[in-house]
Structure 1
Amino acid sequence: MALQKKPAIKDQKVKRKPALKKPAQSHEKIPKVDVFLLAGEEQMDAREEALSKKKHPDADGEEPNLSQASTLVLPGVPGAVLPEYPQKDDEKPLLEEPEPEPVKEAFKEEDKKDKEPEKLRTLSQRSRMDSEAELSARFAALESFFQSVIDARCSVLEQRLAAVEITNQDDRCSVLEQRLAAVEITNQAVLNSLRHVSGEVENLENRFAVFEFANGPVSEDDFAAFRQELHEALNQLRQQVDRAVSAVQAQHSSARGGQEDSFGYPENSDAAISMVQPMLCTIVTQVSHEYATDFLQSKEENKSTVIRRCGVGLVIDSTAGLVLTDRYTVPQPLVEVELTFGQTVTVNATCLFMHPHHNMVLLHYAPTAVKDLPVRSIDLSDVAAGDATKTDELSAGQILSFVSIHSDHQLSAKQVTVGSMCLKVWPFPQPPAYRGRNLEICNLNDTLHGLGGLLIEPAPSYRIRAWFAQFPAGSLRYLAGVPVQVFAAVLASLGLPLQGSWAGKRGPAVDPTLAVAALECEFEEVSLAKARREDGVPLENARALAACSSGGRRHILRVGRITSGGGCDGVLLEGDLILSINGKPVTKPHEVEREMRKCHVARAEVNSMSWRVQRSRQPVDLDLRPTLLHSDGTEHIVVFNGVVLRPTPRAVAERGGPTLPFTRPGQGLYFWYIYPGSPADTFSFADSRAMRNLGWLVQLNNEPTPSIERLLEIIHSGALSGCEWLRCHVMDAEGRLSVRALRPDFEFWPTVEIVRKKQQEDDEYKTPTWVRLEHPA
């Protein structure tokens, strides 16, 4: 088949796009659409008017569907499109090129924008249609509805509260009735126990009569020994019955405390806590940083201006208001003390006595301040110092109950096991501060929490076995227990009763002249085997020492350190082994204190004791007179141009150093703290590197200063007035002398004296108070 030739291009009719200004075909819609596309809002109105006037061929006269219209791209105008409306069958399209879809979307968006203002206007008209009367009616209806709901809810809550109160009252009454019934049953059991004891006593007497009838009369010595054993057995039984009665009374008082007393101790389901709680209190102490002269501070305490510590107190005498605590909680007499009883009442207290060697402090408070609480004194009647049997002493492996008190005044109890008993040798702190000595302590195998407490036997006896307190170890603390025999011996050495009240037994309720007979030496424990092998202890002495040993330990006391200038300085030597005192073998420090207490016949008179020691493998007999020591701690302070001066503390002499008259305890002017920015700090009164702010002020210009009283006399005499510079002779802890130049400033840094005075009126002592005095130059 022959190919047909295509016509030439010039013969073909090419349809060209008509120009926008002069379209190829005349049509009414083109200029209107053109106006719509090229104009703004005014053209929008023209478009709407054109659409409304256009006649559609449909009978119903509906508006043409623009979504079915084709689009036309305008040449030379990027993104511009022209819509083309549907035409009739006999009508030819104006433009042949199809119209793109984006034009439809553009029209839809324009329609939406046109309709949105209309909707907003409609909503605003509807909102304005609501009248004020209708709104008020709606709010009134809502208010009445909510009020009815609230009234109904309140009535339901009132009914529930009434039901709960009735139920609680019934439960409370039933609980009280049950407790009272239990108390009555326990009382009946105690009475039955007493009857049983009486029956046992009669049985023993009958058996003794039968024995005497069968074997003939018994000698007086055997009869006396038998009666002694019988009385000891009876005393032990009576003590057990007394403890049971005390426990019952404590439960009875706690059961009825809410009805009779305005305050009472918190109820606790643990009988051990209920038994111990009236004997304990929480102690909080505060002291300013610059006046903390007798102890070392921790890193946190050094950063604070006020040092605050918490501890536990043990009520010794509730009638006289005496509480026993430790020297970590109350480190010095110049301190503010607060006691809290039963998480309810807080009272102020003062330091009455600080033991110079042991970790014990005696506080005094006003008993009338806690009259609403059933505070009870600790009962140590079965632990007469030195008369307790060896079986009563603690030993490793015993399972007991530990009741502790925490800083939030809460109590807790747990079962613990005794780990060891030892004579602790504490390290020397630097700078010199209090360090405990000659005190036997108890350690447990369990982890301890809290500030301290009491170690007691389980039910039904609840007998006290040890008192746990905080021991200062430098700037740290160490929680350990003191056996009841040990601190009972210390209390007896102060003349305090082990049962009942101290008031009325030694005259005044508070005696400021308390003193103890003590030795200025430190003991160590050495095993008997080592003492016999290395020091040649005789066999007979070793047998006597072994017979009086207890707790699974056999040891002997050895003199470890001797305080220079003390009562035993020059009599005892370091390394002496103690064989006997007054003819009795001793193996514990509290046994030595028991013998010294017998020599303390009066307040200011102490008799000598006969000692037998092993020295250089030979026994030596000695006569030793104990030293009478009063309360420890700083009670007199003077601030001189920013230097805090006080008498030499006992810790300095115990550590060792220069032996001069002004370096003895209670003598000289010892400084430890210098105020920052003061004249002493500005002119380097003490070299911080060499002296570490420690030393003595020996001489001021040409006047020696052996005491605080002498320094005040120099200031009052006017010898320092008008002096532009002062020549200060100081000595460091190693005995090295140096001279410091000090420019005084008595106007801004006056001399201030802080002293503790014991007031006495009408032969009745009052609580010691602190007085602040200023001394102008």
Structure 2
Amino acid sequence: MSSCRGWLGQNSAVNRLARTVCCSRSGPGQQAAYDALEAPGDESDEEPMRHNIAAYPWFLEEDRFQGPPKLVVVLEKAALERSRELIGSRAIAPRPDHPLQITFDALETLLTGEVNQAGRLVVFLHSAQDVYVEVHPGLCLPMSLQSFAKMVAKVLKRRRYTGSSWEAPAVLRVIDGPLRDHLPNDCPWYALSPQGESIQLKDFVRDMVLDSPSGLSCLPGSSGEPAEVALPRAIVFSVGASTGDAMRDMGLGTVVPAVVALSVTAVRGFQDDVPGAHGGTGFVVDEKKGLILTNRHVCTCGPQRATAAFVGCPAAEEVEVSIAYVDPIHDFALLRFDPLGLKNTRLCQIQLDPYGCKVGEDIRVVGNDNLEKLQILAGTIARVDRNAPELSGDFNDENTFYAMAASGTRGGSSGSPVLNKQGKAIALNAAATNGTMHGFYLPLHRVVRALQLIQADAPVTRGTICTSFKYISFTEAERLGVESAFLQSIIEGDASYGATFSESCRPGGVLQVRSVVPGTQAAHVLCEGDVLMEIGGKPVVDFVVLDDAMDKAVGNCLPITIYRNGKLHELECQVQDLHVLIPHRFLEIGFGIFHEVPYQTAQKRNVILSGVYVATAGAVLGQALKSDTIISEVNGQPTPDLASLEAAIMQISDQQYFQVTFTTPGTSSQRRCRAFVKMQHHWGLMRTWTLAENRTWLPCQAATLRESPSVKKRKRRSSASGSSTSSSSKRPSSKAALAGSLCTVTFRTLVQFDLDVSAGSDSPSECGDMICCRGAGIVLDADAGLILTDRATVPQPLGDIEVIFEDEMHSASALFLHPIHSMVVLRIVGAAPSPSAVFADMPLTNGQECDLVGLDAQGRQVSAKVHVEEMRSVQVPHAPGRWHETNIEGAVIHDAPGDVTSGVLSVGNKICAIYTNAAHHEDGEVVRFSYGLPVHRFFPILKQLAPKTGCPKQPAVASLEVQLKPVSLANLRRLPAELRPSFEWLSKLGGESKNDKKAKQAKRSGIGGAVLIDSITAGGPCHPLAQEGDVLAAVGGHVVRSAEEVETRLEALKEMALKGRPSRKSIEVHVVLLRRNEEIRANVTVPFLGSDGARRILGWNGLIVQETPRSMKEAGPVPAGLCISQTLLGSPAEASAIEGNFILGVDGIPTPNLESLLRVGQCRKHLRVETADIHGRRFLKALMPDPLYWPLFEMNQDESLTCIGMHAVCPKAGSTSLKPMSVSLLQWAGTLPLLSSD
């Protein structure tokens, strides 16, 4: 707005306002007292000597608004904080350009006027920084602006100004907001702005009194006698006291406190929404009942947790919110919060004005744009009749107009109010187009209806004829053959019968059928392209009218008239309850979510409302299905609804294969597909969740699934089929024997339980919604059921492992994973149906010819003659937390078939190497290379795993816990004298001091020289003795020139030590290190490493936690805590944005192991979680447990290493024992104490 002089200059505007208002409210007796108000005010140049306190005794009374009505003037945006700029200034003349001058002039005009002299004026100052100052009517202003600035500065500092003694009444006093707390409850409040509508003050007052109970009888000049009327005790006018449109900003400031930033966590996938945390915006529409309006896609339709932060207030308090109502079609929802939960927030609400959305209306979009808590974006309404925007997912609004403006809204602003000049919400921000300024807003006509019904505790009826309409222009309608007379009647008719259009914005089109849900009654009546003419005999071109007609006819038939192929057709459509077509139950099994086909999916994908929709495939059905598919049959039984799917699943035993028939909507081919999946109970219990009337999700008791056949039964079935073949059977020769010992190994796990999967594994898109690794296996011991494979195929023990022998499939478990090399030994139940392979105890050499037998991408066996190009040290870049190959010389094969990445290398019928692969990320791409891993390196371990008699033993691997790198002697000799090893050691390493056969053999193989220490494992035997770059010269008194020699020597020392003490866990080894020209000799304690990989993990508030793996320590020292492997989507950990790689403690209690984490109580409302990353940086976050959706669970491999299991656990305070739970997670959660606050 322009300066306040435009409103208060020459006293005329305010004086006319005061006279008109006061006279109209005090009867004719006051008219004579204000006849002189039009005269200019007396502007004396003499500075007042004292304040006239005694002339206004009523102002000091407790209720100053008793008696005649008062005129309250609020000077908005007063620049009080800039008063210090004028203190000490030498300028004598006033500075008209200073913002404080405007406030000074306004006060002078008001206080020297006749309204104030009559004791009818109350003035307040409202600064730009939200400070309220009460002005005594007896205040005498100083003559200069500098003196006034000093007065204001004292008020802001001391909160009161008396002008004389401190005991005197204050003439200026800072009061606490909001201002309404200091005014009568019934007083009207008006804002004056140049952007508002031009009015005459007398007409304005007349209209204002018309709203009173007594009508016009109290107005001056009326024909009747003046009458006493019950009028407000005060009338408030807000006037800008700064440059610009202060009143517009003031209107915005009064409603900004009603805007909230929403933090929503979808705890489960539902419909096409994925679980996870996201943000949005909402605003209060009912401060007494605690109702917040936002978008449907912000709060989601499935299970969720949400909080609202009142970012428009300084305290920014947060409250928990729940869903009060979600519209099944339109993109809006109402949330509920407890107003009593706010302690330091002034509640206010935003008034909804659906009829204020007009073309050309200037707007402000206030919300959490780009998740920046509070942003204000400007725009101008350009359209009000746009069709609903097309969204990427299944949910798409329909049968409604959208308004449009170039506001530049982005993510996070969904649910923001679209405000007009008066601070009223005229639309709801809903969507935007990426890369443009386009913003799309939902009109509020149906929102107001739903809000009023909820405020009245009445049900919100919603009807549908399962048909989506779109708005087309008159021109397009004429091309379709619609009668011009009908179109002309719309153009010339009354445009006010709708809600979207008006006389200034008349309709320009009609409604046309866009799509009809197949299989419904409307599909037999309506066709795509039909033009809607009338409903119940009335023309319909407005979506609001269409919605209103359907909502009022739920369960009845709706008579409609359509235009099709040049003819009018009068039809009747059955109106269905729209709420019934939205899922209210879902089935959870194996981390998968299944519910009935929702209306939005049926409408957008053009499928019938029958079948079970796969929202999240999970671990069981995810073996073959992906999310966003529809299940129609299970084992030949139709599954039209969720109950039928649940009944079919109940009949399937654990580890049993069953057939699933499904379709994938939205693809080019929607044909029915069939797949076989295996039931696996260890991925969790099956339970059903139901949406209660209060919009809360309640789980039912977990169903009791059929157990799997016993191990003995499975063995008899295997023998009956003739698949039990012992290694003593007659063995074929050469390649036939080798191919017979080859099998296919498949490893699967959920993405959520990826602990050590390499970068080159199949992506979820290639193997359902799970991680899938496939490779070759070799029968190590047929009688014992042992299978040899690599880490690229089986990266971790916890997962589903299957071994396929031609047409037989067996479940397997990980018996041993080599901690250093890519070697894994699996075990199946019973004997293997294929003969044991024969292994060669000899190394490969450069140029050697051998046979490569492996599997291609389709799982078919491939064999080819290949040559060893060279034996090279395998160096794989290390990703912390992921296992990688170290200390191995592998065979590089350049003439191998390109599609073979897994298999064996053999000479004759003996296997010389495992053909494996390694992968890593480089510049954002996966780089994969293959190599041959010599098996003679593993002979000591294989002998322990496959003994001639007895059960397999868990082998132990002696390791210095360093990563070695080969270096040539020539490079060492080129070093300067101060860095070069001594001549004596160079001679020993080169085998020059004597006839060293091993040195000569190493030279011939191309791997001779020495080994450098490339990296050191934190906490290992060489830490902190060794340093990167040291030469490892001798181990146990023997010179070593390669990583193979180091391992061979350690293995020999280990065997010698175990002969005397089989229970030993480590040995003392003497090592020699060469650092520069120094020789370092020391004894180190070499540990015996067991099987690698986590065999026990915890799911704690959505964090998958394990003991810190050895691969994490290879990168350097790590914090003393538990390793965070994954953060599950939609969990409390994700909602709290837990950072780091390690949990150090909870509520001040250290958590060095899993047992310590189990002892931490979870009955508090908030837990303080201390974490750290791999670099040692620490973080502290508050986490809110959610035991209903995220109970504590454990996944482990049993002591026999034969199977894995997952179950909920109930920690006991002060105890490390775990209690396996055979009941549902709901029953377990119900045993927890109630959450208590911090």
Normalising by structure 2, report the TM-score.
0.35
Residue 965 of structure 2 aligns to a residue whose secondary structure is strand
Q: Is 2:955 the counterpart of 1:514?
A: yes
Give the aligned residue type for 2:884: R
CA contact (8 A) 1:350 1:768 kept: yes
Residue 580 of structure 1 aligns to a residue whose secondary structure is strand
C-alpha distance in 2, partners of 1:442/1:705?
A: 44
C-alpha distance in 2, partners of 1:476/1:641?
A: 32
C-alpha distance in 2, partners of 1:627/1:425?
A: 24
C-alpha distance in 2, partners of 1:313/1:299?
A: 17
Aligned to 1:349: 812
C-alpha distance in 2, partners of 1:454/1:673?
A: 34
Aligned to 1:697: 1143
Q: Is 2:1157 the counterpart of 1:711?
A: yes
Aligned to 1:290: 752
**1:519-544: CA deviations, max 9, x gaps?**
11011111121123322343531224
C-alpha distance in 1, partners of 2:1146/2:1124?
A: 14
Shift of 1:299: 9.3
Shift of 1:491: 3.6
Alpha carbons of 1:652 and 1:298: their partners in 2 closer, same or farther (altered >3 Å)?
same
Aligned to 2:947: 502
Aligned to 2:822: 359
CA contact (8 A) 2:1016 2:1116 kept: no
Aligned to 1:21: none
Alpha carbons of 1:724 and 1:621: their partners in 2 closer, same or farther (altered >3 Å)?
closer
From 1128, 1138, 1143, the equivalent of 1:675 is 1128
Alpha carbons of 1:300 and 1:518: their partners in 2 closer, same or farther (altered >3 Å)?
closer
Shift of 1:349: 0.7
Aligned to 2:1202: 767
Residue 420 of structure 1 aligns to a residue whose secondary structure is strand
Residue 625 of structure 1 aligns to a residue whose secondary structure is strand
Aligned to 1:109: none
Q: Is 2:987 the counterpart of 1:540?
A: yes
CA contact (8 A) 1:422 1:441 kept: yes
C-alpha distance in 2, partners of 1:300/1:403?
A: 22
Shift of 1:467: 2.0
Aligned to 2:743: 281
Q: Is 2:905 the counterpart of 1:470?
A: no
**1:692-726: CA deviations, max 9, x gaps?**
xx4222222232222221121223xxxx32x2222
Aligned to 2:803: 339
Shift of 1:359: 1.1
CA contact (8 A) 2:1136 2:1183 kept: yes
C-alpha distance in 2, partners of 1:683/1:481?
A: 44
Q: How does 1:594-743 map to 2 (within 5 A)?
A: 594-600=1048-1054, 601-602=1057-1058, 603-605=1062-1064, 606-658=1066-1118, 660=1119, 662=1120, 668-686=1121-1139, 694-715=1140-1161, 720-721=1162-1163, 723-743=1164-1184
Alpha carbons of 1:702 and 1:445: their partners in 2 closer, same or farther (altered >3 Å)?
closer
Aligned to 2:852: 402
Alpha carbons of 1:631 and 1:677: their partners in 2 closer, same or farther (altered >3 Å)?
same
Give the aligned residue type for 1:701: D
**1:570-602: CA deviations, max 9, x gaps?**
333322223333343332322211111122232
CA contact (8 A) 2:760 2:919 kept: no
Aligned to 1:309: 773
C-alpha distance in 1, partners of 2:968/2:952?
A: 43
Shift of 1:262: 7.6
CA contact (8 A) 1:416 1:444 kept: yes
C-alpha distance in 2, partners of 1:417/1:615?
A: 39
**1:662-719: CA deviations, max 9, x gaps?**
2xxxxx2221322222222223233xxxxxxx4222222232222221121223xxxx
Shift of 1:730: 1.9
C-alpha distance in 1, partners of 2:933/2:1129?
A: 45
Give the aligned residue type for 2:864: K
C-alpha distance in 1, partners of 2:1203/2:1131?
A: 31
Alpha carbons of 1:699 and 1:300: their partners in 2 closer, same or farther (altered >3 Å)?
same
Shift of 1:285: 0.9
CA contact (8 A) 2:758 2:795 kept: no
Identity %: 25
Residue 1039 of structure 2 aligns to a residue whose secondary structure is coil
Residue 1205 of structure 2 aligns to a residue whose secondary structure is strand
Shift of 1:564: 1.5
Shift of 1:437: 0.7
Aligned to 2:1186: 745
Aligned to 1:446: 895
C-alpha distance in 1, partners of 2:830/2:799?
A: 20
Alpha carbons of 1:302 and 1:367: their partners in 2 closer, same or farther (altered >3 Å)?
closer
Shift of 1:317: 1.6
**1:275-319: CA deviations, max 9, x gaps?**
311222110111011111223556962555311110111222222
Shift of 1:471: 2.4
**1:6-26: CA deviations, max 9, x gaps?**
xxxxxxxxxxxxxxxxxxxxx
Give the aligned residue type for 2:958: A
Structure showing greater Rg: 1
Alpha carbons of 1:590 and 1:315: their partners in 2 closer, same or farther (altered >3 Å)?
farther
C-alpha distance in 2, partners of 1:701/1:263?
A: 56
CA contact (8 A) 1:558 1:577 kept: yes
From 877, 881, 887, the equivalent of 1:427 is 877
Which aligned runs of 4 or more in structure 1 are off by greater than 6 angstroms? 260-265
C-alpha distance in 2, partners of 1:728/1:741?
A: 6
Alpha carbons of 1:548 and 1:579: their partners in 2 closer, same or farther (altered >3 Å)?
farther
Residue 755 of structure 2 aligns to a residue whose secondary structure is coil
Structure 2, unmatched stretches of 5+, are 1-720, 727-731, 1211-1228, 1233-1238
Alpha carbons of 1:495 and 1:649: their partners in 2 closer, same or farther (altered >3 Å)?
same
From 305, 320, 324, the equivalent of 2:784 is 320
Residue 822 of structure 2 aligns to a residue whose secondary structure is coil
C-alpha distance in 2, partners of 1:285/1:617?
A: 50
**Higher fraction of strand:** 2
C-alpha distance in 2, partners of 1:673/1:699?
A: 18
Alpha carbons of 1:462 and 1:728: their partners in 2 closer, same or farther (altered >3 Å)?
closer
Q: How does 1:123-138 map to 2 (within 5 A)?
A: none
C-alpha RMSD over aligned residues: 2.9
CA contact (8 A) 1:645 1:669 kept: yes
Aligned to 1:557: 1011
**1:401-422: CA deviations, max 9, x gaps?**
2222235443222222211111
Larger RCO (CA under 8 A, 6+ residues apart): 1
Alpha carbons of 1:302 and 1:362: their partners in 2 closer, same or farther (altered >3 Å)?
same
C-alpha distance in 2, partners of 1:263/1:702?
A: 57
Q: Is 2:936 the counterpart of 1:488?
A: yes
C-alpha distance in 2, partners of 1:483/1:774?
A: 41
Residue 709 of structure 1 aligns to a residue whose secondary structure is helix
Give the aligned residue type for 1:336: D
Shift of 1:757: 2.4
From 572, 586, 589, the equivalent of 2:1040 is 586
Shift of 1:553: 4.2
Normalising by structure 1, report the TM-score.
0.55
Q: Is 2:1020 the counterpart of 1:573?
A: no
Alpha carbons of 1:590 and 1:713: their partners in 2 closer, same or farther (altered >3 Å)?
same
Give the aligned residue type for 1:454: V
- Number of aligned positions between the proteins: 462
Alpha carbons of 1:359 and 1:473: their partners in 2 closer, same or farther (altered >3 Å)?
farther
Shift of 1:453: 1.9
C-alpha distance in 1, partners of 2:733/2:962?
A: 43
Shift of 1:495: 4.3
